[in-house]
């Protein structure tokens, strides 16, 4: 994942816009999901439809289970998809895929996986305040990386859902990751070192950037009711 200077400046704002919009588009409603699956058949073929049905079944099967079981089910399912760089997948240095695009293509990079895990869990009833998309440095790779963090309570040590390691670990057991900042649909937290964080606020930037106008159009297309 490459993050150019301009992209870095607005990275957290743009992903937070995505986190605000997608629950509306992907609300766990059978009628909406049926339409998404129907569109996937046209856009991605039969294998993509099977992946989407498996995704829906995974969420439905685990809907009433403990949160720890939901985390494992979602992490295992999303991590079963293939990894592919944005350049190889979309011909762009940075492309943020919707869950439909990730499942349709059967591949994506770290932010695509983390976004899909985030929305899968929120659709399964995990409160948004327990989840954060976390921007880190993968020290062994010396590159920017994104993971999903789960906080059982506001002050607890988070669990890390990642594609570099298939198992879910406490953050203290991932010394290979250096936190930079994290965010969900409500707030941004900046890492201050020594396990300290600063909550810096809620984004109010919807509609500011052309890239996110394109993203909203993509969301609308995916959930539009087709005659």
Question: pLDDT by residue (tens digit) across 121-151?
Answer: 988 899 989 999 888 999 999 999 999 999 9
Residue 138 CA to chain centroid, in angstroms? Answer: 18
pLDDT at site 198: 57
Residue 40 binned pLDDT confidence (cut-offs 50, 70, 90): confident
| Domains in the chain: ranges and CATH | 5-223 (3.10.620.30)
Residue 36: burial class (beta carbons within 10 Å; 0-12, 13-18, 19+): buried
Secondary structure (3-state) at 28: coil
pLDDT tens digits for range 149-200: 999 998 899 999 999 998 999 999 999 999 988 877 665 666 766 555 655 5
Report angle CA 166, 169, 170 to the nearest 5 degrees: 160
pTM of the model: 0.77
Secondary structure (3-state) at 81: coil
Tokens of 177: 């990751």
pLDDT at site 218: 61
Rounded to 10 deg, the angle between the 30-44 and 46-62 helix axes is 150
Cα(159)–Cα(170) distance, integer angstroms? 4
Pairing state between β 107-108 and 82-83: parallel
Tokens of 60: 């439905």
Cα(172)–Cα(22) distance, integer angstroms? 30
Mean pLDDT of 90-98: 83
Cα(227)–Cα(219) distance, integer angstroms? 18
Pairing state between β 131-138 and 143-150: antiparallel
The segment with the largest mean pLDDT, out of 24-28, 76-80, 181-185, 207-211, is 76-80
């Amino acid at each position: 994942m490459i993050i150019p200077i301009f992209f870095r400046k607005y990275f957290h704002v743009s992903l937070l816009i995505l986190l605000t919009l997608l629950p509306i588009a992907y609300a766990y409603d059978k009628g909406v999901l049926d339409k998404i699956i129907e569109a996937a058949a046209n856009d991605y073929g039969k294998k993509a439809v099977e992946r989407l049905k498996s995704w829906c079944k995974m969420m439905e099967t685990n809907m009433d289970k403990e949160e720890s079981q939901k985390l494992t089910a979602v992490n295992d399912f999303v991590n079963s998809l293939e990894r592919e760089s944005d350049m190889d997948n979309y011909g762009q240095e940075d492309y943020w895929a919707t869950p439909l695009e990730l499942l349709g293509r059967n591949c994506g990079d770290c932010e695509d996986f983390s976004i899909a895990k985030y929305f899968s869990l929120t659709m399964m009833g995990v409160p948004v305040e327990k989840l954060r998309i976390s921007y880190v440095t993968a020290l062994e790779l010396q590159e920017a990386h994104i993971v999903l963090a789960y906080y059982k309570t506001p002050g607890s040590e988070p669990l890390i859902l990642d594609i570099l390691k298939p198992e879910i670990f406490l953050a203290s057991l991932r010394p290979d990751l250096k936190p930079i900042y994290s965010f969900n649909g409500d707030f941004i937290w900046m890492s201050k070192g020594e396990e300290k964080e600063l909550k810096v606020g809620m984004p109010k930037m919807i509609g500011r950037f052309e890239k996110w106008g394109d993203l909203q159009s993509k969301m609308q297309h995916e959930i539009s009711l087709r005659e």
